[in-house]
A = this chain, B = another copy of it.
């Protein structure tokens, strides 16, 4: 995380080069290059997968937890044979702060529950995502299978200038409209998609594995995916929590090429 307060534009500020207007000088915006993912609650355990699965074969006795080796074997079997439903009796709730362009992708995942900060009900804070120094900036390859390469210093400056200039100017206009009595839901129209928004996200382990299979790039994946790096940051954080709470399920997910059952 790199939280930087920016008061543009000063003479030495790259933002100045892009001509941010004079009346933006009083606008204070913050930039950072990370996402925030906190686990609010996990109600998830490998043993529960076994209980749910074993009701089909042993009925009443499904509540008895098998020993560790049998549990691992069963979970791997379910994952490999794509018996997905036993992985649904679990739930992860996350508190996430991410830019709007990430939320736009995230909410395409429909087997999930969301509650997000509302720009109709509150004034959004002046916090914006800015690609960090380690973010590749140049796209190569063809649609559907892009790879990315580092930007040149000039490209990095171009991005920093562009983001700082636009975010500062947009937030200034947002404040100006609000101060003039314009409704929040209208004024927010000028805010760029790189502004941060917060939400609670709840998914079960099966939906989470589907998310992970699509939103992380891993050359060992049976079906490769090419997610945008910023949603992949969210996915990486999710996966860490997932692996901690359901280690056998996570191991089986990896062993089966990250194919969601």
Contacts and interface: CB of A to CB of B under 8 A. Distances in A.
Interface string A157-174: 011011101110110011
Contacts of A119: 101
A88 interface: yes
Contacts of A43: 41, 43, 91
A131 interface: yes
A182 to B, nearest CB: 5
Given A59-B198, A118-B57, A189 B113 contact: no
Of listed A20, A118, A166, residue having the most chain B CB within 10 A: A166
Given A113-B89, A116-B56, A189 B185 contact: no
Contact of A167 (B120, B143, B183, B190): B190
SS class of chain A's interface: helix, strand, loop or mixed? mixed
Contacts of A60: 198
Interface string A57-72: 1111011000000000
Interface of A: 18-24, 40-41, 43, 48, 51-53, 55-60, 62-63, 77, 81-83, 85-86, 88-91, 93, 95, 99-101, 103-104, 107-108, 110-111, 113-122, 125, 129, 131, 135-139, 143-144, 146, 148, 151, 154-155, 158-159, 161-163, 165-167, 169-170, 173-174, 176-177, 180-194, 198-200, 202, 204, 223, 228
